[in-house]
Amino acid sequence: MALVQKLQSFPSVSAHYPTRHKPSSVASPICSLHYKNSPFTEKHSIERYQRDQWVYKNDRHRPVEILENLKYQSFPSSSGCGCPGEDSVRQNDIALQLPELKKLLQVLKQKREECCGKDGNGESCGPGNVFLVGTGPGDPELLTLKAVRVIAKADLLLYDRLVSNDVLDLVGPDARLLYVGKTAGYHSRTQEEIHELLLSFAEAGATVVRLKGGDPLVFGRGGEEMDYLQQKGIEVKVIPGITAASGIAAELGIPLTHRGVANSVRFLTGHSRKGGTDPLFVAENAADPDTTLVVYMGLSTLPSLALMLMNHGLPVSTPAAAVERGTTPQQRVVFAELKDLAEKIVSAELISPTLIVIGKVVALSPFWPESRKEASCLVEAT
């Protein structure tokens, strides 16, 4: 029996958190597993393509002549080769967006030549700026003022799957938005291609904004992008974002550290580069009852991680929470003791993005079920 809570259902929630984000829609059923309006679903990715006017369509429905043209288009030094005969969805995705990108690049270069002259002298003739911007876990009110300002003046924005639609709504009408997330089924861009795009536009003098969910430097591969661009002589400015751990802990009223309860907090990834369980080796030294563990990308490896933590001495009754789409109106939360967490996540059918918090501090949440047994909105998930 899983206890699945939708926090905004608690009538007293605003009394606990007077400044907390008020979700725009509260009405959807607590345990509904069909999220028509999720900011994170794949369906939305298509909508994003359409919104960007780089309409994504299934190959079968695309006229033959367009497919033929697409095969021969190429992008400067892009690792997508555009070779004839390659007809993977990814190739076509990229090809489909190339004309728009090329046009935009051309316009930017022309503008620059007009302003700077061919010799490229003048103050504004160096490369453009690249901003690596953290957008927080989803609630747009968690953006920094700096992020809002930079987003508003961007020429081109590249964003990934964890950037919520509410955040994208802040983008100016003249800016170009490009989805570069890794959404299963759409085979979006590789990291190398993202690097190339950032570089090409920065070299053309554009203000390029790379939006990343949470904080760009926390499990965001922001460091790799920064590294690549800096090596090419492009300055990258990082605008931090509220990482999922902080945003979600605040939403749930969990202090990540608390005197006498947790004297440190540790952010872990449950995801392996090679798809295995190698990150779990940390369990050996992470089984500390005085440390709060926050697991990113941990849904699939949680069963093994929980077992290892318990085998290494973390009490089986350690309070834990799993939070799907935290800080968005679709947020769902499962509270459980560590020994039951994996099973309860499965029965509640939580999906990515889900953050897992393990530690005694979880029980300090006013929503921890042991302290709220009387709460009327706890429901049983089937």
By the 8 A CB rule, do 256 and 265 touch? yes
Which residue, 96 or 142, has its beta carbon nearer to ligand SAH?
Answer: 142
Considering beta carbons, is residue 198 or 238 the nearer one to ligand SAH?
A: 238
**321 forms part of the interface with ligand SAH (CB under 6 A):** no
Near ligand SAH by CB under 6 A: residue from 147, 206, 218, 256:
218
CA distances from 104 to 69, 108, 170, 175, 204 (A): 19, 6, 21, 10, 10
Q: How many residues are given for the chain?
A: 382
Q: Respond yes or no: is residue 160 known to be catalytic.
A: yes
Query: Is the peptide bond prior to 315 cis by the omega test (within 30 degrees of 0)?
Result: no
Selected from 128, 181, 213, 359, the binder of ligand SAH by CB under 6 A is 213
Is 310 noted as a catalytic residue in this protein? no
Q: Which of 214, 319, 329, 359 is the binder for ligand SAH (CB under 6 A)?
A: 214
Binding mask 324-363 for ligand SAH (x = CB under 6 A): xxxx------------------------xxxx--------
Which of 51, 267 has the CB closer to ligand SAH?
Answer: 267
Contacts of 260 (CB under 8 A, 6+ apart): none
Q: Are strands 208-212 and 156-159 parallel, antiparallel or unpaired?
A: parallel
Chain centre distance of CA 291: 25
Segment near ligand SAH (CB under 6 A); pick from 60-68, 171-179, 210-218, 305-313: 210-218
Beta bridge partners of 357: 294, 321
Compute the CA torsion angle 5, 46, 52, 199 (nearest 10 deg). 90
From 93, 155, 160, 215, active-site residue: 160
Q: Judged by CB, which is closer to ligand SAH: 155, or 215?
A: 215
**Contacts (CB under 6 A) with ligand SAH, residues 224-263:** 243-244
Residue type, 357: V
What does the alpha-carbon distance between residue 30 and residue 39 come to, in Å, rounded to a whole number? 17
- The sign of the CA dihedral 20, 26, 31, 34 is negative
7 binds ligand SAH (CB under 6 A): no
Task: Answer yes or no whether residue 167 interacts with ligand SAH by CB under 6 A.
Answer: no
Chain residues that interact with ligand SAH, rule: CB under 6 A: 137-138, 162, 212-215, 218-220, 243-244, 296-297, 323-327, 352-355
| Catalytically active residues, by annotation | 160, 182, 297
